Structure 1
Amino acid sequence: MTTSSRFSEFTQETFALTRRLFIQLQRRPSTLIAGIIQPVMWLVLFGALFQNVPQGLFGSSQNYGQFLAAGVIVFTAFGGALNAGLPVMFDREFGFLNRLLVAPLTSRLSIVLASALFIATMSLVQTAAIVAMSSVLGAGLPGAAGLALVTAIVLLLVLGVTALSLGLAFALPGHIELIAVIFVTNLPLLFASTALAPLSFMPTWLQVVASLNPLSYAIEPIRHIYTHAHWSLGDVVMQTPFADITMATALLVLFGFSAIVFFSIRPLLRRSIA
C-alpha cells in the first residue's frame, strides 16, 4: 500500500469516527446547548454582580464583563476538553472500543484524533458564542488578528487538555473515577487562576500557584487582546512573582504544556490501542 493511499484511508477513518461523535451530539444536543448557556450565565450574572466596581480596579479593563470574558472563554474550553475522555471511557465500558481495536483500521491513532477534532470543534463553537455574547454585554470585540490569536490560544489549550483527558480515560478503571477527577480538578484550577481576579488581588502563595497554572497563560493573552486594540507578541501580559510574562512567552508555555502532555501519554495510548 502506497503512502498516499494509507493517508487517504487514515483520513477517511478519522472522518467516519468524528462523524459518529457528531451524530451522537445531534441526537442529544443538550450537551452543546448546556455548554453554551452555562458560560453565558456566568457572563451575565458575574458581570452584573461586579458592574459597579470602580473603573481601573481590574487593570485596564473597561468593565468587569470585559475582564471576565477571557476567563469564561478559557475555562469553558478547558471544561469541555477535560470531558473529552468520557465518550472513550463509555466506549470502553460498553465494548465498542474493543470492536474498533479489532477492526482493520489503517491506524488506531484515528480513534484519538477523532475525539480531538470533535472537542476542538465544540470548543470553537462555544468560544464564538461567548465572544458574541460578551460583545453584546459591553466587553467589545477584538479585531480579526485578535480573534485569530484567541482561536489559536483556545485550540492550543484544548489539544493539551484533551490529550490529558484521553490518557486518563485509558489509565483509570471506570467512568466514576474519571468523573471524580473532573469534579476535583475543575473548581480548584478555576479559582487558582486569573479567571475571576487579577494576580494583584491574591495572597502571595496563591499568586505563585496561579502563575504555575496553564489556564492563566491562556487567559492573560486573551484578556490583553480584549483590552488593547494595538497589541504585539512582546507585550507583557502578566506580572508573576518570579518574572514578567510576555504574550510570546505565554504562547510558548501553552505549547510546552501541550507537548509535555502529549509525549507523556503517548506510551500509554500505544499500549492501550495497540
Structure 2
Amino acid sequence: MRGPLLRLVFAVALPALLVAVWWVASAGSTDVYWPPLRTILEAFPHVWTAERLRSDVLPSVLRLTGGYALAAVAGVALGTVIGSYRRVRAVCEPVLEFLRAVPPPVLVPVIMLFAGIGDTMKVTVIAAGCVWPVLLNTVEGVRAVDPVMAETARSYGITGVARLRNLVLRSASPQIFAGLRQALSLGIILMVISEMFAASNGLGFTIVQFQRGFAIPDMWTGILVLGLLGFLLSVVFQWVERRALGWYHGLRASVRRSP
C-alpha cells in the first residue's frame, strides 16, 4: 500500500508545484500573450464543451491511434525480420540510417502530394514518424536475444512461430516497449503538426485558429488539452506495459532483492 501511495504522491507533486509556480508568476500579468493562469482556467469550460471535444479532440485521437497502430505493427514486423537475419540487416542498414535522418515534419508536403489533405495524409505522417523508434528498438532487441536460450530452443526443437512468439519477441519485448514509448510522444507532436496543414478540425487546427484570431486564452486552453491528453495516454501506456512486461519487472525486482 505504501509503494503505490508514494508513486501517486510523486506523480502529483511536480505537476502541482509547476501549476502553483505558473499561477503565482502570471497572477499580475498584463501581457496579452501571457495571460494569468486564472483567466485561462476560467475560459477552459467555455471553450472545450462536449461538442468541441467530439468535433476536435476525438478526430485527433483517432488519427493518432491509427498512425500509431500502423507504426507499431510495421516497426515490430520489419524490425524482427531485419534483426533476425544478418544479411538482411547489412543490406537495409544504410537505407534505414538515411531515412531515419529525415525529420518527419519535412515529409508532410511530400505526403500531401500522394495522399491528399484528408485523414489519410495525417495518419500516414504519424505512422511515418513513429515507425523509426519502434523499428530500431525492435532490431536491437532481437539482436540481443540470449544465444544460450536460442541454442536451448533449437535443441528442444522449438522453431517457427513458437520460437518467434516465446523466445524472440518475448526477449525483445522490453526494448520494443521502449520504442513504443518514444513513438507515443513523437506521435502526439506529429498529430498536431499534420493538423496544421489544410485541416478542418483537430487539436492542431483549433489551436492555430485561436492564435490567428488572437483568442490567446483560448489558445492556451488548447495547449493544456494537449498536455492532459499526453498525460492520459502515458498513464494508459504504463498500465499496458506493466501488464505485458509483468514477468520482466518481477525478474528485475527479484534480482535487486537478492543478496
Which structure is higher in helix share? 2
* Largest Rg, 1 or 2: 2
Please confirm whether the aligned pair reaches a TM-score higher than 0.5, indicating the same fold: no
